[in-house]
Structure formats: C-alpha cells, structure tokens
Amino acid sequence: MDTGIRARGLTKRYGHRVAVDDLSFTVRPGLVTGFLGPNGAGKSTTMRMLLGLTRPTRGTITIGGRHITDLDDPAHTVGALLDARAVHPLRTASDHLLAYAQTAGLGRARVAEVLELVGLADAAGRRADEFSLGMHQRLGIATALLGDPGVLVLDEPLNGLDPEGIRWMRTLMRDLAGEGRTILFSSHLMSEMELTADNLIVVGHGRLLAESTLAEFVRANTTQAVTVRTEQPDLLSHALHRAGVPFERAPDASLLVTGTESGTVGRIAAAEGIPLDELTRVRESLEDVFLRFTHDDTDYEGRAA
C-alpha cells in the first residue's frame, strides 16, 4: 500500500486565530522528513489533523490517499508519538504497551520486542511515574512501533533526550526510513534536523515556508563565504579588489570573502605570489539560516530584558 502523507489546502481556525493556513505538502516513503517551524507554527495541529484528533476547518490530510478513519487496519498502518508524557502515571510500561498492542491484535511477545528495541526491557515492570523524560520518549516510540506501521508521525521525538539518546533516535529513524517507511518528525530546532532529515517541510504561522530536500534548503538559503588569513592582507585586498571579488576585512586582519569559491581565492593569491596562512570555507550554520528564514514568522520571540 502507498504510505505517503499528503496535505492539500489544510486549514484549521480557532475562532479568529488561524493555526494552520492552507497548507499543502507531500511526505514520501523511504525518507526521513523533518517538519520544522518555531513553536506555535502549527506543527502539532497538523499532526493531530493527520491522526484524526482534530478536524480541519478546510482541506484534507491523508495517508495513501485515505483519511485515517478510512484505513482498514490503522493500528498496523500508522504509529504516532504526540506527547511522551501521555501515560497513566500508575500503570507499568508493559501494561501500557499491552493495552495498545491488543488494539492491533498483538500480545505480550510484541510488547517484549518493542521494549527491547527501545532499550527499556529492564524497566518493563516499572510504573511510568518513575520514568525520566528520556524514558518517556523511548516508551512513546515503543508505543508508536507496536503495530510495525509503515507510517510514523513523531512530534518532537528528540525532546528531553540526552546526547546518546538523540543519536539513538536518529539512527532509529534513519533505519526505519531505510526499510521503506514514511517518517515525519517535527522539531523547532534546525540543529536537530541537520543530521537526521532528508527532506524538510518548513512552516511558520501555519503557512508553508519551504518544502525541499535538506541540501537544497541549505544551498538556496546560505551564502558562500571563505576566510583567508595572510601576513600581507593589504596586498591581498588589492588583488581581490582588482579581480572584482567582494570581501570584508575582519578585525583580526583576516579577510572574509563572500560569494566566491575557496579555490578562486587561492588562485588569485597564488597569481600575486601572496603566501596564505589559512584558507577556510565557512558555511553559515543551519541554525542561523533557519532563524533568519523564520524570523518574521516567530510568534513568541524572546526579548532581551
């Protein structure tokens, strides 16, 4: 079955406030798709509409062309992690999982499998109120994986994980996508997308800001820059000026050349016989790109006191 996710004209209004505004995008199987946007951009609302928890004001969001309530076997088709804290505090991890395994016609054997998979086998008999946030995230992932679904929808899955947990979650998402599954995961942190996502859906104020591969997004939104350090900055400045290459002089006497490849800068210096101490290509960090990109769309911006 086709397990792509497709949103068309998806809109959700709460009174006068528009949470999701005419959103259209496609999430393809076999790839990790990052759903990126500042807090309040409408990511969770979109995921809740996908899962049938919230009714769109207009538009549709479907899995393989069908609304979730029209799926033949939803528990085996879609797995979701919406809120890792959504566990009864007095229920054990294994009973929590068993209740959801049973909706998919599965039993304790499958519960043991997913507990093993997420590294919670030792905590199976413990109550959720003894869990750390990281353990809750792992339990949430285990719940999502119970029915071995082809589509995974994960809202902020990296939240609250320690560095080791983040690496584990990334590897897991990549592996699951490698098996041909559709993975949609949200985050408000670009840095979390860098090593995980193949594709990006960027939203702000409920509107689609970009839909592309991660690489394309970076290429389209970053500027090339090269740092050059030499003992003869004045000579190099003249040379660059003659070559028509734009640059800035940094306070530490190095030069920041923009819009030109490092090789070009090196050749200009070589032609003039200027020895270089450093020639580094600097990439604007994705965090910077994202912040600039969504700046106008940030709802709750911190203000300096």
Partner 1 sequence: MRILRSEWTKLRSVRSIWITILSTVAAGTALSALGVSDLLGGSPADLPDPWDPTATSLKGFLFAQLLIGMLGALSITPEYATGMIGTSLSHVPARSRLLAAKATVITAIALVTSLVTALLSFTVVQALFAGADLPSAGLTDPGVPRALTSATLYLTLIALIGVAVGTLTRSTTGSLAVLVGGLLLVPAIAPGLPGGLGDWFGDYWPNTAGQAAYAVIRTEGMIAPGTGLAVLTLTALCIAAASHLAFRVRDI
How far is it, in rounded angstroms, from Cα 167 to Cα 43?
A: 23
How far is it, in rounded angstroms, from Cα 268 to Cα 204?
A: 42
Smallest distance, partner 1 to C-beta of residue 74, A: 5
The answer to whether 157 contacts partner 1 (rule: CB under 8 A) is: no
Say if strands 255-258 and 247-249 run parallel, antiparallel, or are unpaired. antiparallel
Binding segment toward partner 1, per CB under 8 A, in 50-58, 191-199, 229-237, 271-279: 50-58
Binding segment toward partner 1, per CB under 8 A, in 45-53, 158-166, 167-175, 191-199: 45-53
Identify the residue among 8, 13, 28, 91 touching partner 1 (CB under 8 A). 91
The answer to whether 62 contacts partner 1 (rule: CB under 8 A) is: no
Binding segment toward partner 1, per CB under 8 A, in 72-80, 232-240, 250-258, 285-293: 72-80
**Which two three-digit tokens encode residue 217?**
């997004």
Binding segment toward partner 1, per CB under 8 A, in 85-93, 181-189, 239-247, 269-277: 85-93
The answer to whether 237 contacts partner 1 (rule: CB under 8 A) is: no
Q: Give phi and psi for 56, each to the nearest 5.
A: -65, 145
The answer to whether 54 contacts partner 1 (rule: CB under 8 A) is: yes
How far is it, in rounded angstroms, from Cα 227 to Cα 281?
A: 6
Question: Any residues with CB less than 8 A from the CB of 233 and at least 6 apart, and which?
Answer: 249, 253, 254, 255
Helices 133-145/108-117 angle, 10° precision = 130
Binding site for partner 1 (CB under 8 A): 48, 51-55, 68-69, 71, 74-75, 78-80, 82-83, 85-92, 95-96, 98-100, 102-105, 143, 147
